[in-house]
């Protein structure tokens, strides 16, 4: 079983930056696929950014060019650098880890970290 702990959320003004971290422990493999999802009040959880089975990264259209995904396998940690934050980025951000070839619904989720973008 994989345990995921997110950190780095908070309150930031529009145009500001935050860096989210997701620390993985337990039976995490370097081949596991990790990604970030978010859920705003009254909305469904949506993909923000994820690594893919073939080693690429994909981003939601709404964050492309502003967010950057990275991973440090030595530390079992994934990061999401968020720049140019907008009020519509306000949500709880969740980290997900899944086995290669399987969907995110089959994987593990963190407890979430709140990101609030407001002046």
For 22-71, what is each residue's pLDDT tens digit? 999 998 888 889 999 999 999 999 999 999 988 899 999 999 999 999 99
Please work out, in degrees rounded to the nearest 5, the angle formed at the alpha carbon of residue 110 by the alpha carbons of 5 and 3: 65
- Do 87 and 117 contact (CB within 8 A), yes or no? yes
For residues 115 and 7, the answer to whether their CB atoms sit within 8 Å is no
Mean pLDDT, the chain, integer: 95
Order the strands of the 2-7 sheet from edge to edge. 2-7, 18-26, 77-82, 67-72
DSSP code of residue 102: S
Query: Residue 119, class by beta-carbon neighbours within 10 Å (0-12 exposed, 13-18 middle, 19+ buried)?
Result: exposed
**What are the b/e assignments for 71-88, b being 16+ CB within 10 Å?**
beeeebbbbbebeebeee
96: confidence class by pLDDT, cuts 50, 70, 90? very high
Contact 23, 5 (CB under 8 A): yes
pLDDT of 85 strictly over 90: yes
């Amino acid at each position: 079983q994989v345990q995921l702990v997110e950190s780095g959320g908070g309150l930031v003004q529009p145009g500001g930056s935050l860096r989210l971290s997701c620390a993985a422990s337990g039976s995490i493999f370097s081949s596991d696929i990790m990604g970030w999802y978010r859920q705003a009040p009254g909305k469904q959880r949506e993909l923000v950014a994820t690594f893919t089975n073939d080693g690429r990264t994909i981003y939601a259209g709404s964050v492309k060019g502003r967010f950057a995904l990275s991973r440090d396998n030595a530390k079992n940690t994934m990061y999401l650098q968020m720049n140019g934050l907008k009020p519509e980025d306000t949500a709880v951000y969740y980290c997900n880890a899944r086995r290669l070839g399987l969907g995110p619904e089959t994987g593990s989720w963190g407890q979430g970290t709140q990101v609030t973008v407001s002046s």
